[in-house]
């Protein structure tokens, strides 16, 4: 016991005592040194024990040199000088002489005195208040601090805040960059967070100024990336500001010269970043965002730029968001978009350009959806259903199998979708026919012949997502997600018409009648039976080409021959403004003919 106890204490060996005595020129005998050593140990121990009470009353856990000196002073002993530094003193051995010493570097006083980097005084001692609201059960209520409460910002912080906001919102791009970088890495700005969040919420008042919006979004990014900041419930406020930039028909977008699309793209990216890094801070945030995006998407009164925002927002939130919100809405939305795209009137030119933007965005979104879904399928046989976020009961929603989804999407986009896959490098892995085929078989129990043909003709869905466009196959079956069954009048019509038209375009010209009849078989429940029950009454062309223009998107031109049923489309907001029917433009046909092998005239 004693041994253990003694090992716990520092002991000064007699050799040390002798050495110390020698250094002052005194010769000590062994006996005296031993006695002295023991006494020194005891005195040290006593002084340490006495000094601990000063530590306790100073409400500290760490014994300081000052505590020790106080104990010495009260026991009428000279205090130890020169150890006031806060840093630990390294105790170093000297190899040659078995000597241990405290490293004590010499300080050049002259240098110190003439130094130009005068240390700044430490910040003013101050009091800050934080309120924890407890509910009846004693749980902390999730409420942010109240910035209006007694909360004093120190002078320095206030200055920092002013400088930063001025730099970010000012004209100098270099200054802004510096400010943003600092905002991203400064560890002492927690107190300013509410103020910055407030500044950012000012997006609503500068919606005419793309530059300012951009700067504010950059500010959001910096705050989100700052590892020292705990955003807490401020995340909600930040998200609402970002959502504003994504979804609102900003005043800046009135002028087509303003590139508000990029702003929306950036904001969407930011949204996904916030969500992935801070989404856990506010429960239910994900669903709230999805709901608001869905609301915008399903609102036809909203301008196309809002829709564009919703689509890129969903795209940014991941393929599952696309699958859950965009995909089910696509049939309904498609009619409107189609209408816009098919209007070639001059007055519609701008809207049409916007429409193409939306089209491109949707295409990009569904492309990723398909790829990711295929990937998840290859990773796990049941990936499509297992990968769902848990507890999403907000909408009746059942996963759609990949081939079915592909079929449906193919009916919208035609080869423009296929082409995107064919140009992709293979993802590797063998085609998984297992999960695909039975599904299709089940979906189409009516006839076996189409099934056979389907297996032959359908563009092959492989894990590598290589779809050969030459292998003519018409995706004829459309699995109907239950939620989609007859939701919007006119939707099924538009869809079926488009699908049939696509199928016709994809099918070889030698079998036109058959394909149409099949499409009729598949859609027996369509509320608007196809008027063209017999041979097709209209023809159209799909042409696609890469546009080298400003938007860098894909522009597809579709031309319809006017068909009577299409006029029965229920009037839409767009339809009012723009005639639904476009006109066949010969030059386009010629142009597409000349450039694209995909051009398949009926």
Partner 1 sequence: MAAVQDGQMELDAEKETKPEILSDGTSNLSGNTASGTLSSSPLTAAPAGGAPKMEDQQTLIAVLQFLKRNKLTDSVEILRREAGLGEDQEDSQATDGSGGGKGDVDGGDANSLLSRVSITSAAAPQSMCDSPLMFMLSAAGADDQPDVSVVLSAYSQQGDPSLYQVYYSGLKNFIESVLDCHRAELSQLFYPLFVHMYLELVYNNHENEAKAFFEKFSGDQECYYQDDLRVLCGLTKKEHLKGNEVLLDFRTSRFVLRISRDSYQLLKRHLQERHNNQIWNIIQEHLYIDIFDGMPRSKSQIDSMSGSLAGEGKREVNKAKVFHGLLKEPEIEVPLDDEDDEAENEEGKPKKKKTKKDSLGSKSKKQDPNAPQQNRIPLPELKDSDKLDKIMYMKESTKRIRLGPENLPSICFYTFLNAYQGLTAVDFTDDSSLLAGGFADSTVRVWSVTPKKLRKVKSAADLNMIDKESDDVLERIMDEKTASESKILYGHSGPVYGVSFSPDRNYLLSSSEDGTVRLWSLLTFTCLVGYKGHNYPVWDTQFSPFGYYFVSGGHDRVARLWATDHYQPLRIFAGHLADVTCTRFHPNSNYVATGSTDRTIRLWDVLNGNCVRIFTGHKGPIHSLAFSPNGKFLASGSTDGRVLLWDIGHGLMIGELKGHTDTIYSLKFSRDGEILASGSMDNTVRLWNSMKAFDEVETDDFTATTGHIHLPDNSQELLLGTYHSKSTPVTHLHFTRRNLLLAAGAYNSQ
Residues in touch with partner 1 (CB under 8 A): 1-3, 5-6, 9, 38-39, 41-42, 45-46, 49, 53-54, 56-62, 66, 70, 74-75, 122-134, 136-138, 140, 150, 152
Cα angle: 254, vertex 257, 262; to 5 degrees: 90
* Residue 128 or 527 having the CB closest to partner 1: 128
Total Cβ atoms within 10 A of residue 61: 6
* Residue 189 or 362 having the CB closest to partner 1: 189
Torsion, CA 370, CA 373, CA 377, CA 378, rounded to 10: 70
* Residue 62 or 95 having the CB closest to partner 1: 62
* Residue 51 or 253 having the CB closest to partner 1: 51
End-to-end distance of the chain based on CA atoms, in angstroms? 101
* Residue 51 or 563 having the CB closest to partner 1: 51
> At closest approach, how far in Å is the CB of 150 from partner 1?
6
* Residue 113 or 122 having the CB closest to partner 1: 122
Total Cβ atoms within 10 A of residue 54: 18
Give the torsion sign (CA, 549, 551, 554, 557): negative
Q: Using CA atoms, how far apart are residues 511 and 233, in angstroms rounded to an integer?
A: 61
Q: Using CA atoms, how far apart are residues 336 and 323, in angstroms rounded to an integer?
A: 20
* Residue 1 or 114 having the CB closest to partner 1: 1
> At closest approach, how far in Å is the CB of 126 from partner 1?
5
- Cα distances from 512 to residues 196, 310, 534, 542, 566, in angstroms, run 63, 38, 10, 17, 21
- Cα distances from 538 to residues 141, 311, 350, 532, 584, in angstroms, run 64, 31, 27, 9, 11
> At closest approach, how far in Å is the CB of 37 from partner 1?
12
Q: Using CA atoms, how far apart are residues 599 and 545, in angstroms rounded to an integer?
A: 11
Q: Using CA atoms, how far apart are residues 451 and 457, in angstroms rounded to an integer?
A: 10
> At closest approach, how far in Å is the CB of 56 from partner 1?
7
Q: Using CA atoms, how far apart are residues 405 and 331, in angstroms rounded to an integer?
A: 12
Note whether 453 and 431 are within 8 A (CB): no
> At closest approach, how far in Å is the CB of 123 from partner 1?
4
Note whether 547 and 521 are within 8 A (CB): no
Nearest CA-CA partner of 495 in 328, 290, 309, 259: 328
| 380's tokens | 């796990």
* Residue 23 or 132 having the CB closest to partner 1: 132
Note whether 62 and 43 are within 8 A (CB): no
> At closest approach, how far in Å is the CB of 163 from partner 1?
20
> At closest approach, how far in Å is the CB of 156 from partner 1?
10
* Residue 155 or 172 having the CB closest to partner 1: 155
Total Cβ atoms within 10 A of residue 323: 24
> At closest approach, how far in Å is the CB of 443 from partner 1?
56
> At closest approach, how far in Å is the CB of 34 from partner 1?
12
* Residue 10 or 446 having the CB closest to partner 1: 10
> At closest approach, how far in Å is the CB of 382 from partner 1?
42
Note whether 356 and 551 are within 8 A (CB): yes
> At closest approach, how far in Å is the CB of 51 from partner 1?
12
* Residue 88 or 301 having the CB closest to partner 1: 88
* Residue 118 or 127 having the CB closest to partner 1: 127
The one-character DSSP state at 300 is: T
Which residues, 6 or more positions from 260, have their beta carbon under 8 angstroms from its beta carbon? 210, 250, 252, 253, 305
* Residue 77 or 567 having the CB closest to partner 1: 77
Q: Using CA atoms, how far apart are residues 210 and 263, in angstroms rounded to an integer?
A: 8
Nearest CA-CA partner of 520 in 502, 539, 497: 497
Report residue 480 CA to chain centroid gap. Answer: 31
* Residue 185 or 398 having the CB closest to partner 1: 185
Q: Using CA atoms, how far apart are residues 223 and 221, in angstroms rounded to an integer?
A: 5
> At closest approach, how far in Å is the CB of 35 from partner 1?
9
> Which residues pair with residue 556 across a beta bridge?
544
| 14's tokens | 């007699």
> Which residues pair with residue 542 across a beta bridge?
558
Q: 34 phi and psi, to 5 degrees? A: -65, -45
> At closest approach, how far in Å is the CB of 73 from partner 1?
10
> At closest approach, how far in Å is the CB of 401 from partner 1?
49
Report residue 552 CA to chain centroid gap. Answer: 23
């Amino acid at each position: 016991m004693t041994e253990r106890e003694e090992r716990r204490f520092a002991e000064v060996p007699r050799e040390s005592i002798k050495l110390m005595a020698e250094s002052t020129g005194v010769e000590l005998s062994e006996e005296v040194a031993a006695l002295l050593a023991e006494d020194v140990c005891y005195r040290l121990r006593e002084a340490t024990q006495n000094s601990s009470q000063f530590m306790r009353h100073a409400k500290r856990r760490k014994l300081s040199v000052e505590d020790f000196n106080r104990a010495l002073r009260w026991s009428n002993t000279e205090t130890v000088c020169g150890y006031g530094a806060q840093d630990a003193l390294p105790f170093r051995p000297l190899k040659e002489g078995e000597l241990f010493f405290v490293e004590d570097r010499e300080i050049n006083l002259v240098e110190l005195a003439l130094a130009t980097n005068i240390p700044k005084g430490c910040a003013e001692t101050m009091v800050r208040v934080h309120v924890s609201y407890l509910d009846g059960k004693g749980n902390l209520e999730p409420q942010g601090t109240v910035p209006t409460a007694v909360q004093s910002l120190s002078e320095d912080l206030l200055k920092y805040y002013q400088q930063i906001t001025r730099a970010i919102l000012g004209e100098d791009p270099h200054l802004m960059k510096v400010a943003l970088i600092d905002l991203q890495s400064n560890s002492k700005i927690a107190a300013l967070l509410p103020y910055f969040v407030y500044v950012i919420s000012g997006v609503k008042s500068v919606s005419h100024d793309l530059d300012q919006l951009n700067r504010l979004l950059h500010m959001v990014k910096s705050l989100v990336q700052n590892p020292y900041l705990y955003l807490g419930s401020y995340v909600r406020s930040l998200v609402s500001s970002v959502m504003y930039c994504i979804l609102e028909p900003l005043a800046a977008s009135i002028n087509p010269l303003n590139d508000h699309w990029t702003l929306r793209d950036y904001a969407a990216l930011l949204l996904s970043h916030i969500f992935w890094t801070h989404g856990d801070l506010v429960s239910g945030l994900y669903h709230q965002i999805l709901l608001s995006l869905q609301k915008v998407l399903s609102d036809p009164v909203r301008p196309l730029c809002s829709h564009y925002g919703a689509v890129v927002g969903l795209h940014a939130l991941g393929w599952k968001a696309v699958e859950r919100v965009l995909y089910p809405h696509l049939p309904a939305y498609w009619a409107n978009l189609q209408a816009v795209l098919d209007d070639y009137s001059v007055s519609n030119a701008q809207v049409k350009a916007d429409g193409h933007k939306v089209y491109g965005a949707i295409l990009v979104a569904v492309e990723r959806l398909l790829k990711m879904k295929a990937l998840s399928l290859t990773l796990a046989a049941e990936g499509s259903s297992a990968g769902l976020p848990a507890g999403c009961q907000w909408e009746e929603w059942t996963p759609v199998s990949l081939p079915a989804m592909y079929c449906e999407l193919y009916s919208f986009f035609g080869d423009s979708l296929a082409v995107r896959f064919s140009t992709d490098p293979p993802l590797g892995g063998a085609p998984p026919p297992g999960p695909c085929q039975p599904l299709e078989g089940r979906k189409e129990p009516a006839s076996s012949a189409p099934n056979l043909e389907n297996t032959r003709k359908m563009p092959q869905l492989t894990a590598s997502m290589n779809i050969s466009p030459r292998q003519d196959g018409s995706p004829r079956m459309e699995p109907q997600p239950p939620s989609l069954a007859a939701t919007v009048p006119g939707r099924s019509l538009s869809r079926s018409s488009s699908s049939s038209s696509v199928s016709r375009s994809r099918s070889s010209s030698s079998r036109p009648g058959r394909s149409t009849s099949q499409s009729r078989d598949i859609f027996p429940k369509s509320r608007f039976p196809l008027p063209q029950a017999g041979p097709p009454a209209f023809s159209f062309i799909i042409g696609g080409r890469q546009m080298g223009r400003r938007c860098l998107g894909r522009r597809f031109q579709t031309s319809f021959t006017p068909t009577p049923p299409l006029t029965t489309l229920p009037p839409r907001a767009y339809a009012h403004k723009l005639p639904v029917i476009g006109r066949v433009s010969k030059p386009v046909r010629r142009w597409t003919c000349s450039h694209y092998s995909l051009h398949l005239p009926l």
